[in-house]
Structure 1
Amino acid sequence: MASGKLSPRQKMINLMYLVFIAMLAMNMSKEVLSAFGYMNEKLIENNITATTKNQDVLDNLATKASEQPEKYKSLYEIASKVNTLSNDFNTYLESQKTFFLEGKEDKTDYETMDQSNLVDEYFFKNNKPTDEGQKFLDNINGYRNSIIELLGDKSPLKASINKRFDTSDQEIKDGIKLQPWLNNRYEGFPLISTVTNLTAMQTDIKTTQSEIFSNLLGGQLESDVSMSNYKTILIPEKSAFFQGENFKGKIVLGRYDASLKPSEVVVNGRKVTKIEDGGAILEFPAGSVGERDIKGKFVFIENGEPVEIEINSSYAVIPKPNSAVISADKMNVVYRGVVNPMTISIPGIPDNKVTATGSGLRKGSGSGKYIMTPSSGREVTINVSGTLPNGQKVSSSQKFRIKDIPSPRGTIRKQSGHIKMPKTSLGKATVGVELADFDFDLKLSTTGFTVKVPGQSAVVVRGSRMNVQAQKAISKAKRGDVVTLFDIKSTISGNSGYRIKPASPVSVEIQ
């Protein structure tokens, strides 16, 4: 197009072509810049999600470390150090992005971020790294080396971490010519590509954290399912056995995994061949009364080698019962006028096989629970019978004394005995009663009392408060006089048919 002698018209056409090509190149450049910007936005969104997930895993590991420190404490310590190193490096990268974008009013106007001079002047001088450029390299290398040192040279993640944060010289032509990593990745590139590169490196940090956390938990999980970590558990058919019975129960492993098939089970020197749901089913004579040992081993094959798990447990053999166990939940007596809760049972016999009878006795709510409401007399006999698992009958009886509810004591302002108060206060006071040191919580209501003021006739009052006559008599009392309240009568709330003994009197010295 430029060869030979051209006419002015042709020169004009050629110039127009050049301008057109330049415009196409400019448009293409703007599209590429925008593409870098959109990629940066996507990476930032992914980093936010990854940060949340990594924190959730770290929090879960912290919980496990507090619940099972012997398993997870050391793993949590490593994860915490990884998290600290990662957060510090991520913060440094974020500060670099903030510096490069400082002064940009619209940080999403990617088409204007086509200059490279800001990054070039910040990272390079005379084709060598500036102090900030060297600091950037030191941060990358320091993070990589610290993580690998923390995990150990034998970590399966070492190779990927080295590759992810590699800052060695880069090949640029046929594997012969090398260029420093910093120049290769950042010199002469548009500003938006540098910002996107820094965000991508933050993504690498999140990925590294995630891989390390998964590797730590995965290693512990592999350890947990190893046969050497199982414990045997003895599950007897019942908690105790009578002399002459056969012991029935099974020994299982802690995971209760039905897929576990031991190659051999030996208990008390004998091989056990019946295996169900991962447990060895046991049945043999229970033996004499006392504590009996169960010793032996489970044998599994793991990686072609036998692994033995010790069985070391025990059970108790008790004699057959010949009497019932009967106890009053409150005292060794029962009280007339109240509901007395009782527990009646026979060891080794279920509640539905036990029968208890007695005057005023009825079944309550719950296993072995009864209610006794005695009426007349001074004693009550409770008869108990039960049926043993082998069909044998056992029976027993026991007598309980019946007592009346003790006399309550009178109170003024919840005080009893001898008290002091002004006569105006006494005239407005309420007379009450209480059962001191009584095991049942009874609510008593005052129904009447008698007031005696020195020099005045006694006044009978109905209810719990002074009537007009009593107030008039009290108003004539002098300072130092002792007013007596006696014959204080009361009833049980909800049981007015039972007659409570009169309460002890109250003496009030007038102030």
Structure 2
Amino acid sequence: MAGGKLTPRQKMINLMYLVFIAMMALNMSKEVLTAFGLMNEQFETSNSDTTDSNKLMYEAIEQKASDSPAQFGEAKKIADKVKKISADFYAYIESLKTDITKDIEKEEGKLPYEAMDKGDKIDELWFSGDGYSQKGKEIIATINKYKSDIKAAVGNDVKYKGILSDVDKKFDISDVKDNEGVKKMYLDYHYKGFPAIASLTKLSAMQNNVKVLEANVYNFALGKAALEANNMKNYKAIVVTDKSAFFSGEAVTGRVVLGRYDESTVPTGVNVEGGKVEMKNGQANFEISAGGTGEHDIKGKFLFLEDGKEVEIPIEGNYVVVPRPNSATISADKMNSVYRGVSNPMTISFAGISDNNVSVSAQGLSKGSKPGQYNWSVNGVQGTTAVVTVTGTLPDGSKVVDKKTFNVRDIPQPSASVRGKTDSAKGNKNDLSNSTINAVFKDFVFDVTATVKSFEVYVPGNPAIICQGNRFNAQALKAISRATRGDQITINRVQVDVQGAPGYKVKPSSPLVWEVQ
């Protein structure tokens, strides 16, 4: 349109074309500015939701660390560091956003997106000539500090490899080549010359990366702690004798069991000093000859293979040999503790005295159908101990009294279960979506029937989702459908009701981590 000699009419036509194109560009710019504004609103809403979700996850880690310091203590340490690092960096980015908007007058509480078409504030504050100003250098230094602090917080554990990769990827501040192949500095490429609303949106997106990364660290910390709970060094050998006192010369019988055991837990070797041992159903049944009157130790060891290396778990216990018949024999059929929320079967007798000459008293204790058999409900017992008092009437009419103190415990924390797996599992996301969530009381001496009331699910990149009942709701199914291979989805805080114990409140479950294949 600019070449050669043009008539006045043609010049007028060309001028009209230029005005028309300018008007189109003006309208398009307003639409783009509004789009950036709406996108910024979405980022800020997402940041608020993720902040609330992260708070819940941190509180879950905090509670677990309080309940099980050995298992979740390290996860709590990492969470504490990342929480502060994230909060400080997030607040710093917020201050940059405030610098952009502090002189802009809002309209009905909202920023005027179409009027935020200039970027001169950032250009003047962040840049000096072809380089960075002091403020620009400060921004780059703060981003680098955030990256190094996060890496130091999670350490070099291979399980956090994905987190470390995310930090480098989402906060890459290296130089960038533009469409013409010209290399530009990070802030120059992303912020110099851009409308204020575009820069504001990019900063909100950076805040979103901070929140999502914080959520992923919490999820990894929980999952890692749950997986480490299965390490063989965390098992404990427990000696359970058939009764707590034996006569001199009598065979001492009982069981040595692992604190976490099942039929698949088979040691490569086991021995009890001075006795015979037979492995059966995950238990080491032993028999040794009782010594003289007094307390005796039971010692031995389990041997397991773990990662090709032999791991030794010591067996430590004791028993008491008493003379006849001046002391009662009192034993709990389900180990030497009694539990709230269940009926505790008890076998109580007085050595050398028939059952009809023995009386037993304890709060909540009732007589069973067979001699020496009792059922004990300790739901109404306050404190951590309860006492059984046994009175025996001797043939001459005199009475002997003995007492036994038991530890009163709550039902242990259940474990979240999916498709028969606990702690961790692998599979495709469709299998998980179609699964029923259960809670099991692993290694508990009682068979407990529980009904799932609700549970929480954490999917990387999403806030915590609370589901009612034992199935995923629509929100959870949608989040799971977006999961990718390698993502670790955490099922946590399964709440249950225990059959036969109305009103009894059980602790929320420990987590299960499902790795998407």
Q: Where does residue 245 of structure 2 map in the other structure?
A: 240
Aligned to 1:476: none
Q: Kindly provide the CA deviation profile for residues 320-376 of structure 1, in whole angstroms up to 9, marking residues without a partner as x.
A: 326889xxxxxxxxxxxxxxxxxxx963589x923379xxxx99987699xxxxxxx
Match of 2:186 in 1: 181
Over residues 2-32 of structure 1, what are the superposed CA-to-partner deviations in whole Å (9 max), with x where a residue is unaligned?
A: 5566666655555444444333333332232
Identity %, equivalent residues: 41
Matched position secondary structure for 1:90:
helix
Matches within 5 A, 1:73-112: 75-102=75-102, 103-106=104-107, 107-112=110-115
SS at match of 1:274: strand
Quick check: 1:162 aligned with 2:180? no
Q: 1:26 corresponds to which residue?
A: 26
Match of 2:407 in 1: none
1:211 paired residue number: 216
- Report if aligned partners of 2:324, 2:352 keep a CA contact under 8 Å in 1: no
Output the amino acid matched with 1:255.
R
The count of aligned residue pairs is 353
For the pair 1:172 / 2:178, whether they are aligned, the reply is: yes
When structure 1 is superposed on structure 2, of 214-223 and 194-203 the one drifting more is 214-223
Q: 2:256 matched to which residue of 1?
A: 251
SS in 2 for 1:296: strand
Aligned equivalents of 1:311 and 1:262: distance in 2? 13
Shift of 1:186: 0.5
| Structure 1 position 69, deviation (Å) | 5.0
Give distance in 2, aligned partners of 1:151 and 1:237: 48
**Equivalences for residues 333-412 of structure 1 within 5 A:** 347-348=350-351, 353-355=355-357, 395-398=395-398
Is 1:309 aligned to residue 313 of structure 2?
A: yes
* RMSD (CA atoms): 3.8
Residue in 1 that maps onto 2:296 = 292
Q: Mapping of 1:184-199 within 5 angstroms?
A: 184-199=189-204
Deviation at 1:191, TM superposition (A): 0.9
Distance in 2, matches of 1:355 and 1:199, equals: 80
What SS does structure 2 have at the residue aligned with 1:145?
helix
Shift of residue 86, structure 1, vs aligned partner: 2.1
Answer yes or no: is 1:282 the counterpart of 2:286.
yes
Question: Bigger relative contact order, structure 1 or 2, given CA contacts below 8 A and separation 6+?
Answer: 2
Relative to structure 1, the CA distance from residue 9 to residue 173 in structure 2 (aligned partners, 3 Å threshold; closer, same or farther) is: closer
Deviation by residue 1:31-66 (Cα, 9 ceiling, x = unmatched): 322222222112212212222232333334444555
Aligned partners of 1:140 and 1:311: how far apart in 2?
53
Q: Matches of 1:368 and 1:80 in 2, distance apart?
A: 49
Preserved CA contact (<8 Å) 2:238 2:316: no
Alpha-carbon distance between aligned partners in 1 of 2:88 and 2:361, rounded to the nearest angstrom: 70
Cα distance in 2 between the residues matched to 1:41 and 1:236: 66
Secondary structure of 1:281's match? strand
Displacement of 1:192 after TM fit? Answer: 1.1
Structure 1 residue 188, shift from structure 2 partner: 1.1
Return the index of the structure with the highest Cα Rg: 1
For 2:151, which of 148, 151, 176 is the aligned residue? 148
In the alignment, structure 1 segments of 5+ residues that lack a partner are 326-344, 370-383, 387-393, 401-511
Q: Which runs of 5+ in 2 are unaligned?
A: 330-347, 368-390, 401-517
- 1:68 Cα deviation after fit: 5.1
Alignment-mate amino acid for residue 41 of structure 1? E
- Return the offset for 1:240: 2.5
Contact 1:235 1:249 in 2 (8 A): yes
1:111 corresponds to which letter in structure 2? Answer: E
Question: Could you say if the C-alpha distance between residues 321 and 89 of structure 1 is closer, same or farther in structure 2, counting changes exceeding 3 Å?
Answer: same
Shift in Å, 1:100: 0.7
Q: What is the alpha-carbon distance in structure 2 between the residues aligned to residue 324 and residue 180 of structure 1?
A: 84
Matched, 1:139 2:145: no
Report the TM-score when normalising by structure 1: 0.59
SS in 1 for 2:240: strand
Distance in 2 between residues matched to 1:304 and 1:93, nearest whole Å: 49
Aligned residue runs from structure 1 range 349-498, under 5 A: 353-355=355-357, 395-398=395-398
* Shift in CA distance, 348/195, structure 1 to aligned 2, threshold 3 Å: farther
The residue identity in structure 1 corresponding to 2:324 is K
1:139-170 superposed Cα distances (whole Å, 9 cap, x missing partner): 21222223334444666333332332222212
Greater Cα offset, 12-21 or 95-104 = 12-21
Q: Evaluate the alpha carbon distance shift between residue 35 and residue 198 of structure 1 in structure 2; reply closer, same or farther with a 3 A threshold.
A: same
Aligned partners of 1:367 and 1:192: how far apart in 2?
Answer: 73
Query: 2 CA distance for matches of 1:120 and 1:280?
Result: 76
- In the aligned structure 1, how far is the partner of 2:39 from the partner of 2:206? 13
Q: For residues 54 and 356 of structure 1, do their structure 2 counterparts lie closer, same or farther at Cα, with a shift above 3 Å needed? A: closer
Alpha carbons 1:90, 1:205 under 8 Å: kept? yes
Counterparts of 1:74 and 1:366, CA distance in 2: 41
Letter in structure 1 aligned against 2:323: P
Alignment match, 1:114:
117
Contact 2:275 2:286 in 1 (8 A): no
8 Å CA contact 2:270–2:303 kept in 1: the answer is: yes
